[in-house]
Amino acid sequence: MSGPVLALTVAAVVTNGLRAGLYLAFVVGVIPGLRTVEDGGYVWSFRAINTAILNPAFLALFLGAPVLAVVGSLVRVTPWSVAAAVCSVVTFVITVAVNVPLNRGLDAAPVRLPGEMAAARSAFETRWNRWNGVRTVTGVVACTLLAIGAAG
């Protein structure tokens, strides 16, 4: 593998691994922790997370992971690289199509009257957690396939 192809491959593995790890951190730590708080604490905490995560580091991983996987699969076409690119793009699409709209809905939900915090949480939590789990799996599979392809 030439220097530029190796650099591209390493960058794809690392960005996809870090993105999958971020989503996994929610599965193993953030979500279990938030399950223990009352509705208001949950809503305000998740709103704070939604605001804080929109930063250059997250955006570099979020956009860089699928781009690097796709470019890598075009430069070095193997079954591993193509499958990895598909999984990485699926991870991106799930986030854009499901998790981001749910985040925006939670951020816009009315939370002033009694019961509104519970309603906002109810409309968000189960669906967001389910799809975060799916994108975690597709992200881990993308990283794994990229690593297998790099090793082979």
- In DSSP notation, 89-138 reads HHHHHHIIIIIHHHHHHHHHS--SSTTHHHHHHHHHHHHHHHHHHHHHHH
Burial of residue 18 (number of CB atoms within 10 Å: 0-12, 13-18, 19+) = middle
pLDDT confidence tier of residue 17, bands split at 50, 70 and 90: very high
**pLDDT tens-digit readout, 92-121:** 999 999 999 999 999 999 999 889 999 999
Summary mean pLDDT of the chain:
96
pLDDT at 23 > cutoff 80: yes
> What would the mean pLDDT of 67-71 be, rounded to a whole number?
98
pLDDT digits (tens, 9 = 90+) for 46-66: 999 999 999 999 999 999 999
Average pLDDT over residues 69-81: 95
User: Is 0.85 topped by the overall pTM?
Assistant: yes
Averaged pLDDT for residues 17-26? 98
Half-sphere exposure of 82 (CA within 13 A, CB side): 3
**Which token pair is 39?**
């509705």
What's residue 121's pLDDT?
A: 98
Indicate if the pLDDT at residue 34 is higher than 90. yes
Confidence of residue 146 (pLDDT cuts 50, 70, 90): very high
Percentage of residues in the chain having pLDDT higher than 90:
96
Q: How much is the pLDDT for 152?
A: 76
